Structure 1
Amino acid sequence: MKAEERWIGIKDVSAHLGVNKSSVYRWIEKKGLPAHRVGKLFRFKLSEVDEWVQSGSAGEAGSQSTPKEKTDG
């Protein structure tokens, strides 16, 4: 039987992804980063976070949106 995956907090997710905690909060709110609220705290499963990143939902590797195409003229 597979061991149960443990829940982790914002600090661990930000370290795992190599971003600031504020980016994690923003991604929860604006980009649908999978998070589960337990009282006032957010908890995560790394497998869900990794799946979200691999699906392309994270967008660009920074905190900015995908740049818009420039038009000549």
Structure 2
Amino acid sequence: MNDKWVNIEELAEYLSITVDTARTWIKAGNLPAYKAGRRYKFKLSEVDEWVRSGKIKECDENGKKV
């Protein structure tokens, strides 16, 4: 299987959130991410699974569980 990888800007657009929100969720350990040097990379299949699992609903904009 050939999974698509995206950067944080593409991920924010994909999820219809801001880049700042994505960074907050990463720092809180909520969003599945990989560090490549100084940048984050995201496997869309993992992000899709994270959304389907309902975990996106557990995060507010500050990365805290609600």
Please give the TM-score of this superposition, normalised by the length of structure 1.
Answer: 0.74
Larger deviation: 40-49 or 26-35? 26-35
What is the Cα-based RMSD across aligned positions, in Å?
1.9
1:19 to 17, 20, 25: 17
1:50 to 36, 48, 55: 48
Higher RCO structure, 1 or 2 (CA under 8 Å, sep 6+):
2
More strand by share: 2
More helix by share: 2
Q: Is 2:8 the counterpart of 1:10?
A: yes
Identity level (%): 34
User: Higher Cα Rg: structure 1 or 2?
Assistant: 1
Q: Structure 2 unaligned segments of length 5 or more: list them.
A: none
8 Å Cα contact 1:37-1:43 kept in structure 2: yes
